[in-house]
Structure 1
């Protein structure tokens, strides 16, 4: 396996773990309560596990591509975090603003909270992943 592929796959794995931990905490502590109180009548009785898994697999690839950028050594941490923030903002805004436009009585608060969360979580995950990988790879003698 070449170095670029290895860096990308390592970045994907680290990003996936960090994103899953943070997002599950967010869903458990904040989102579930807000969704139940604000859009409870729209919620399915149980989570569609296949849909959730596919979302995480695809979304993590986006964070790695637009945020972590493992094969762009010249990118600064600031550029990576900004790229991730924009990716999260636009991705979550697509969902939230579409819901606001087409779902009856969809709350503005839920839309704004989701958009802010998308930008914040992608930024934090990228910062943590890039910082961790830089330390790990520099110890291994591999450029981050």
Structure 2
């Protein structure tokens, strides 16, 4: 396996754990309450586990590509976090603004909160991943 692939896989694993941990806290402390109070009638009785897992698996690829950039040793932390923030903005805005456009009585506060969350979580995951792996990402040799 090549060094860039190893670096990418290590970054993926770290980012996935960080993203899942942060998102579980967010969902448990803010999102669930807000969704139940604001769009409770639109919610399924329980989450679709396969859909949730698929989201996390795919979404972390985007965070790596636009934010962490594990095989770009020249990207600054500021560039990485800015890329992640933009990625989070556009992806969460896609969901939130589509909901606002097509779902009956979809509250603007939910859309705005979700968009802000997308920016925040992608930025935080990128910052933490890049900080934890800074020596590995900056290397041209074997990952730690």
What is the TM-score of this pair, normalised by structure 1?
Answer: 0.95
Q: CA deviation at 1:138?
A: 7.2
Q: Distance in 2 between matches of 1:50 and 1:123?
A: 25
Query: Which residue of structure 1 aligns with residue 2 of structure 2?
Result: 2
Q: Distance in 2 between matches of 1:6 and 1:143?
A: 7
Spell out structure 1 runs of 4+ moving beyond 2 A.
Answer: 135-139, 141-144
Query: Which residue of structure 2 aligns with residue 53 of structure 1?
Result: 53
Q: Deviations over 1:2-36 (max 9, x none)?
A: 10000000000000000000000000000000000
Flag the 1:19–1:137 CA change in 2: closer, same or farther, 3 A.
Answer: same
What is the TM-score of this pair, normalised by structure 2?
Answer: 0.95
Query: Which residue of structure 1 aligns with residue 126 of structure 2?
Result: 126
Structure 2 segments unaligned to the other structure (5+ residues): none
Q: Distance in 1 between matches of 2:138 and 2:72?
A: 15
Query: Which residue of structure 1 aligns with residue 42 of structure 2?
Result: 42
Q: CA deviation at 1:52?
A: 0.3
Q: CA deviation at 1:137?
A: 6.4
Q: Is the 8 A contact 2:74 2:138 kept in 1?
A: no
Q: Deviations over 1:27-70 (max 9, x none)?
A: 00000000000000000000000000000000000001100000
Structure 1 segments unaligned to the other structure (5+ residues): none
Query: Which residue of structure 2 aligns with residue 13 of structure 1?
Result: 13
